[in-house]
């Protein structure tokens, strides 16, 4: 099968509905918009939750609660391949060194190392978390993966 041999399934493609073109097509006169009023007008729509001027339900109910998002800790993600791009003279890496190298944002203290990429030399890496594959690749290259 080739691209130029493809065709739509019969019944999948419909003709565009032409509203306002006389009574015969069933969409004449008011063009499927019903009678008069706000919803019959161009651009006329009623926002979600509007109850015709009555006090809406979402304003009647109390808004209390707890959101865990306020207390979450953001963890910067790095791959083993990113560590390999650091300067050859570097033998020990931590969050401050990664920020100085521009691999993570300044002020980020929690770093997780993932196993995408290859590492060619021994590096001592200090991070909050390591994936199993990242830990294996760092130790296979002769380095150390230290959880801090």
pLDDT at 129 over 90: yes
What pLDDT, in 10s, does the model give residues 18-51?
A: 999 999 988 999 999 999 999 999 998 999 999 9
| Backbone torsion region of residue 52, taken as left when φ is above 0, otherwise alpha when ψ lies between -120 and 50, otherwise beta | left
Query: Domains in the chain, please, with CATH?
Result: 71-147 (3.100.10.10)
Q: Which helix (H) or strand (E) holds 82?
A: helix 80-84
What pLDDT, in 10s, does the model give residues 81-117?
A: 999 888 777 889 999 999 999 999 998 889 999 999 9
Q: Which pLDDT value is given to residue 126?
A: 95
pLDDT at 135 over 90: yes
The 3-state DSSP class for residue 124 equals strand
Whose tokens are 């019959």? That residue is: 40
CA neighbor of 15 nearest in space, from 25, 5, 2, 3: 25
Strands 111-114 and 124-127: unpaired
């Amino acid at each position: 099968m080739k691209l130029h041999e493809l065709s739509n399934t019969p019944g999948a493609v419909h003709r565009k509905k032409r509203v306002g073109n006389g009574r015969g097509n069933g969409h004449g006169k008011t063009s499927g918009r019903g009678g008069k009023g706000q919803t019959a007008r161009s651009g006329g729509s009623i926002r979600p939750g509007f109850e015709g001027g009555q006090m809406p339900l979402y304003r009647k109910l109390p808004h209390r609660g707890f959101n865990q998002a306020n207390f979450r800790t953001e963890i910067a993600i790095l791959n083993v391949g990113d560590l390999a791009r650091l300067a050859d003279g570097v033998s020990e890496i931590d969050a401050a060194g990664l920020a100085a190298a521009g691999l993570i944002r300044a002020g980020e203290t929690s770093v997780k190392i993932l196993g995408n990429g290859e590492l060619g030399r021994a590096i001592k890496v200090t991070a909050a978390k390591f994936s199993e594959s990242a830990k294996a690749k760092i130790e296979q290259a002769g380095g150390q993966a230290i959880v801090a």
